[in-house]
Amino acid sequence: MNQLTRATVIGTAAQVAMVVAGHFVPAVAELFAIGGMGISAVAGWAAMKGQPASLGSAAGFGALAGGVSALIGIGVSVALGDVPTSLLAVGTAGSAVTGLIGGVIGRRR
């Protein structure tokens, strides 16, 4: 499993764990936005950690890891009835941006 795949899988597991916990614990649900974007930033960072990459490549791979993990996590939250379907696009886009930032921070220049 390559680094991008591993980061995306771990980010997805963290996103799903957060939304399932939030389904049962309202205090966790209140943190969905900041928690989800934070997880995506870490996934983006992990995808590029120590990898030599151009700025564009690091941004793209970071956005991919952050966005895919958020999309799946938000999808689970929609399926549980905790967030509206419209959040899929907005939440995924926001998390892709934080994943992009994480990827740029994680790359080796």
What pLDDT, in 10s, does the model give residues 22-56?
Answer: 999 999 999 999 999 999 999 999 999 999 999 99
How open is the CA angle 57-62-65, to the nearest 5 degrees? 130
Cα 72 to Cα 54: distance, rounded to the nearest angstrom: 27
- Tell me how far the alpha carbon of residue 105 is from its chain's centroid: 15
- Reduced to 3 states, what is the DSSP secondary structure of residue 5? helix
Q: What is the pLDDT of residue 1?
A: 83
What pLDDT, in 10s, does the model give residues 86-98?
Answer: 999 999 999 999 9
Q: What is the pLDDT of residue 47?
A: 97
Q: What is the pLDDT of residue 108?
A: 87
Question: 52 pairs with which residues across the strands?
Answer: 108
